[in-house]
Amino acid sequence: MSIRYVGGRVASALITIALLILINFVLFRAMPGAPERIAAGRHPGVTAETFANIRERWGLDKPVYPISIVGEPPFVEINPENQFARYIASTLTGDLGVAFSGAGQSVAEMIGAAIGPTLLLFGLGELIAIFAGLALGAYTGWRRGGAVDYVGNGVSLVLYSMPYFLIGMIMLLIFATTLGWFPTFGMTTPGEQFASPLDQLLDLLSHLVLPVATVAIGLIGQYSILMRSSVIETLGEDYVTTARAKGLRDNRILRKHAFPNALLPAVTLIAINLGYVVAGAITVEVVFNWPGLGTLTVEALEARDFPLLQGIFLLLSVAVVFANLGADFIYGYLDPRVRT
């Protein structure tokens, strides 16, 4: 890939991140309610002096923007000390503030503690869905019109139309409540004393099965449908016709010729799904009470914890941008036409 191509994509990503930071700042300051009242409002008897001290401590007594509109010429007032400049400086240094609901914990600490379980859950689910969905889509597309195609495509459409929470509830009802094969909630058994690290690992795996299966089942459908469509499109290409004229077997044509070219659209979808990990995590983690970013987001919404929500939304937005940037690079590597 040329330096111009890489530089253009990186510059576009940086501009997008800058706009996201700006929107993140404006969005949460446009919400109703004062942050100091949300933080201190749970305690009765809070005085106006206490509110003033909180505002001064957090810098909320400063003007919001660097420029203010006034009623006298020159009608514009420059504010050297303002909340926007402080927000930009803190964000660039990784300081996302202190969470209202975290008992003194910083937003970065709370997100850091929750991101590991989310990456574990969705990382495994994505890997299973990628391999199973692409394989199913490629095979049904290659055998289009047959019994395997009808069954596989029908199952994929059903799975694609089902939301995560519905799949999770079905899994819980069948395999946890009725059959009792797996735990119903959490990442580990509460209060359990493990005799060895192996026992702890087995306990973790037993809690992982249903959430990972829910994520994988929810993603397999869309990967399969997209891959099937791409394979069918490649079947009419000249290189497939030439390979068949050479007498190559169908399995070899599919693996060596049709599949690599049909894989291009799936790269973008996979990258975008990786970026939207938090959005999908909310429903799955709430159903299984998984201690990740999704559960943390719901708890922050219930507590109206604006600093924590602001940090989570910024993380989600930046993750989507980097996922798209990675998709551009991979796509450019796989398809030289994109680089031109």
pLDDT band of residue 72 (cuts 50, 70, 90) is low
pLDDT in tens, 253-276: 777 777 777 777 777 777 777 766
How much is the pLDDT for 33? Answer: 62
Domain co-membership, 196 together with 326: yes
The total number of structural domains in the chain stands at 2
192 and 228 belong to one structural domain: yes
Q: 36 pLDDT exceeds 80?
A: no
CA 183 to chain centre: 25
Instruction: Kindly indicate the confidence band of residue 338, based on its pLDDT and cuts at 50, 70 and 90.
Output: low
For residue 252, what is the domain's CATH number? 1.10.3720.10
pLDDT bin (cut points 50, 70, 90) of residue 121 is confident
Residue 49 has pLDDT above 70, yes or no: no
Judge if 209 and 254 occupy the same domain.
Answer: yes
Amino acid at 248: L
Residue 42 reports pLDDT greater than 70: no
Count of Cβ atoms closer than 10 Å to residue 243 Cβ: 19
User: Is pLDDT of 339 > 60?
Assistant: no
H/E stretch holding 68:
strand 67-69
Higher pLDDT, 50 or 107: 107
Q: What is the mean pLDDT of residues 143-148?
A: 77
Q: Let me know whether 179 and 284 are in one domain.
A: yes
Domain containing 199 equals 107-339
Is pLDDT above 70 for 222? yes
- For residues 76 and 155, membership in a common domain is answered with no
Same domain, 210 and 269: yes
Render pLDDT for 78-103 as a digit per residue (tens, 0 to 9). Answer: 666 777 777 888 888 887 877 777 66
Tell me: do 116 and 22 sit in the same domain.
no
Name the percent of the chain lying above pLDDT 70.
Answer: 80
Give pLDDT, residue 266.
Answer: 76
- Alpha helices in the chain, H assignment, sequence order: 3-29, 35-40, 48-58, 83-92, 107-142, 147-161, 164-171, 197-234, 238-245, 250-253, 259-275, 277-288, 293-303, 306-334, 336-339
Same domain, 40 and 131: no
- Same domain for 169 and 39, yes or no, is no
Task: State whether 185 and 281 are in the same domain.
Answer: yes
Give how far the C-alpha of residue 85 lies from the chain's centroid of Cα atoms, to the nearest Å. Answer: 28
For residues 52 and 154, membership in a common domain is answered with no
**What residues have CB less than 8 Å from 43, skipping those under 6 apart?**
none
Determine which of 27-36, 68-77, 110-119, 277-286 has the lowest per-residue pLDDT on average.
68-77
pLDDT at 35: 63
**What per-residue confidence (pLDDT) applies to 291?**
86
Give the model's pLDDT for residue 44: 58
Judged by average pLDDT, the poorest of 1-10, 14-23, 150-159, 293-302 is 1-10
Q: Give the pLDDT confidence score for residue 59 in this predicted structure.
A: 65
